[in-house]
């Protein structure tokens, strides 16, 4: 799949997400690259007093779709979209590629704020690819004896509470030691008391429903 929206070029649907989307999503659409690039610029400039939002092509995809729908009155009407509607759009990524952002918008991320430019320079020195850090954390989980399943946007971890969080702390220590000055981790965790269920069993449950 060739597209500037790298975060959306996954090649296959997330089976865990599909279990929810198949029941709750009413419609879907596809967009070309050009509207996504336009949306990056629109968000960066702001409109009618809105603040600047710095994102990438994947992060702007939802806004690109909404702008496209606003120009297709017939389709917008079918979806119930009009001037009285309030639409919530999720932006999943920031300006993760400063060079691409500058090509689209005409300025680097952070505008004229020196602190932001400094952050971009530090990110460039560390590197924009996360794969070395992901690999290092996978080794930490393996050494801790935890069961994991790597996917495009993170790692599913299965294990006892203390062991999991101890390994996550170790990951931060290892990645800092690799030269990353700042780390932000997003965690989503769950426990179950009615029965035991493994990662594989959750995925198999979805695959059976897909036939």
- Each as own residue / partner, the long-range contacts of residues 116-120 (CB below 8 Å, 24 or more positions apart, any chain) are none
Could you say which of 3.20.20.140, 3.40.50.620, 2.40.10.10, 3.40.50.1100 is the CATH number of the domain covering 6-126? 3.40.50.1100
Distance CA 207, CA 18 (A): 10
- For the stretch 58-106, pLDDT in tens is 889 999 998 888 888 888 888 888 888 888 888 878 888 888 888 888 8
Where do the domains of the chain lie?
6-126, 131-210
For residue 49, give both structure tokens: 């007093």
Residue 53 CA, chain-centre distance (Å), reads 16
Whole-number average pLDDT of the chain:
82
Judged against a pLDDT cut of 50, whether residue 117 lies above it is answered with: no
Confidence of residue 111 (pLDDT cuts 50, 70, 90): low
Class of domain 131-210: alpha beta
Specify the pLDDT at position 37.
92
Query: Whole-model pTM above 0.85?
Result: no
Distance CA 118, CA 149 (A): 35
Half-sphere exposure of 13 (CA within 13 A, CB side): 12
């Amino acid at each position: 799949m060739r597209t500037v929206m790298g975060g959306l070029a996954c090649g296959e649907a997330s089976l865990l997400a599909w279990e929810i989307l198949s029941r709750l999503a009413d419609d879907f659409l596809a967009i070309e690259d050009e509207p996504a690039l336009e949306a990056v610029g629109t968000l960066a400039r702001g409109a009618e007093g809105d603040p600047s939002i710095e994102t990438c092509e994947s992060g702007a995809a939802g806004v690109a779709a909404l702008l496209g729908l606003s120009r297709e009155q017939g389709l917008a009407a079918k979806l119930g979209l009009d001037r009285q509607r309030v639409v919530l759009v999720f932006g999943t990524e920031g300006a993760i590629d400063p060079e691409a952002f500058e090509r689209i918008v005409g300025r680097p991320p952070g505008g004229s704020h020196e602190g932001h430019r400094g952050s971009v320079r530090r990110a460039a020195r560390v590197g924009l690819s996360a794969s070395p850090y992901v690999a290092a954390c996978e080794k930490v989980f393996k050494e801790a004896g935890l069961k994991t399943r790597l996917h495009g946007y993170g790692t599913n971890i299965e294990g006892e509470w203390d062991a999991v969080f101890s390994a996550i702390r170790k990951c931060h220590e290892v990645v800092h030691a690799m030269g990353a000055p700042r780390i932000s981790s997003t965690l989503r965790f769950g426990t179950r008391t009615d029965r035991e269920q493994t990662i594989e069993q959750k995925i198999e449950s979805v695959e059976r429903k897909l036939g």
